[in-house]
Copies of this chain bind each other. A is one copy, B any other.
Amino acid sequence: MKINGQTKKGIITMLEELKETVFHANLDLVKHHLVLFTWGNVSAINREKGLVVIKPSGVDYDTMKASDMVVVDLETGKVVEGDLNPSSDTPTHLVLYRNFPEIGGVVHTHSTYATAWAQAGIDIPNIGTTHADYFHDSIPCTDAMTKEQMGEYELNTGIVIVDKFKKDGLNPVHTPGVLVKNHGPFTWGKDANEAVYHAVVAEQVAKMAFISFSVNPRTTMNPLLIEKHFSRKHGPNAYYGQKKKA
């Protein structure tokens, strides 16, 4: 049997590693206190094969196993492997992978502070270097969904995200996350672990901004400082952390 031009055996062996990664990344959401019950999901993509590994829908983190991860086709969304239903948010993840070719992992949570800002329906302004180290601009909040878009809700959740990035000229690598209005945050990264990292950053940044605006409603940051901090960790002149050996 061949799927996307590979023997099934070859695919499975390769995806077993990705399943392990996605499984552990889902548990990391719990470790970082980003999820209650089953309210979160992580996926990762194998771009070569056009397959996405994602958490099953509504399964308890305590009993979940790596082998419960579900494999779906990037284009059709059909389940290629797995006995359980994939996360109900799968169509959103797939829209993001199809439109943001640079990303390798996606996370969705209902983490407290980021979700509260999403409910408030406003961008989280970039007011500190903690924010600027990972997100170049505000963490944007999508427009409200139209009545028509609610028909295919999860698909259109992805579409309102992509529309927001197009409309505002945002680069998904420099802005690795978004707030879906009245819903909650999606974040992404080069792989599942970086997507989880950005979910933690978004929650912390949301919490600190809530406090900052409470003590000073007119909080702002000089855009030059944003530029400086972002470039410490990104781009050709990055100098944070340990340099890789040549």
Contact = CB atoms under 8 A, between A and B. Distances in A.
A225 B118 contact: no
A230 to B, nearest CB: 12
Contact of A216 (B112, B122, B204, B241): B122
A214 B204 contact: no
Given A120-B215, A128-B119, A242-B57, A222 B144 contact: yes
Contacts of A241: 38, 57-58, 85, 88
Interface string A85-124: 1001000000000000000000000101101111111100
Given A37-B200, A211-B112, A240 B58 contact: yes
A228 interface: yes
B213 A182 contact: no
Contact of A209 (B119, B222, B225): B119
A158 to B, nearest CB: 15
Nearest to A213: B215
Contacts of A138: none
Interface residues of A, number: 61
A174 interface: no
A92 to B, nearest CB: 12
Contacts of A117: 211-212, 215
Contacts of A210: 116, 211, 214-215
Interface string A68-97: 000000000000000011001000000000
A111 B151 CA distance: 36
A242 B150 contact: no
Contacts of A155: none
A47 B224 CA distance: 36
Contacts of A122: 215-216
A115 B222 CA distance: 16
A184 interface: yes
A122 B242 CA distance: 34
14 contacts: A57-B242, A58-B241, A85-B242, A88-B241, A112-B208, A113-B211, A116-B208, A119-B127, A119-B221, A120-B213, A122-B215, A122-B216, A144-B222, A182-B225
The 5 closest A-B pairs by CB, nearest first: A58-B241, A116-B211, A120-B216, A119-B128, A119-B212
